[in-house]
Amino acid sequence: MSESVELELLINCTQATILRFPWSTDFNTTVVGELNRTEVLDVLGEMITRSRGYVPQTGELLTLREFITECLFPTTKSPYELPWQLKTAWGVVFGAMLLVAITGNCIVLWIVLGKWIRPRLYPIY
């Protein structure tokens, strides 16, 4: 794990993980608050190692690894993500533009081929 995660966030997420999955470590939440960065990472590594053999119950939505990942790196909705109504509207606009472009190009090809083929079929004497 890089230095991009602040120590306070790392400690808070470790404490939350201990509260949510108490079977995963022998540490309690107060002890984790006094550890340094390397020791907290060791505790998280131990918790992930212990959780490999654990079979999640049906009521648990997140595994321990997913819980830690979501806590440390929360996923937020992209500010550039459009709602489905706008996506549909833009799809219709671009679809209409595509239809007009294809029709216009077909007309141009028809005219060019007509000018090129007609003199060969009906030569002027």
Burial 37-57 (b: 16+ CB within 10 A, else e): eeebeebbeebeeebeeeeee
Q: Which residue range(s) make up the domain with 45?
A: 2-72
The radius of gyration of the chain's CA atoms, rounded to the nearest angstrom, is: 32
Going residue by residue through the chain (125 aa), what tens digit of pLDDT does each one get? 446 678 888 888 888 888 888 877 888 778 888 888 888 888 888 888 887 766 666 566 677 888 888 888 887 666 778 889 999 999 999 999 999 999 999 999 999 888 877 777 666 66
Within this chain, do residues 38 and 86 fall inside the same structural domain, yes or no?
no
pTM for the whole structure:
0.52
| 68 & 14 share domain | yes
The confidence score (pLDDT) of residue 25 equals 80
Q: Is residue 77 part of a domain?
A: no
Task: Note the pLDDT of residue 49.
Answer: 84
Burial class (CB in 10 A: 0-12, 13-18, 19+), 27: middle
**CA dist 120 to 45, 113, 116, Å?**
81, 11, 7
pLDDT at 107: 96
Number of domains in the chain: 2
Q: How many CA atoms lie within 13 A of 6 on its CB side?
A: 3
Q: Is 68 found in the same domain as 10?
A: yes
Q: Cα(94)–Cα(87) distance, rounded to whole angstroms? A: 10
CB 7 within 8 A of CB 40: yes
Quick one: 62 and 94 in the same domain? no
Question: Does residue 87 share a domain with residue 32?
Answer: no
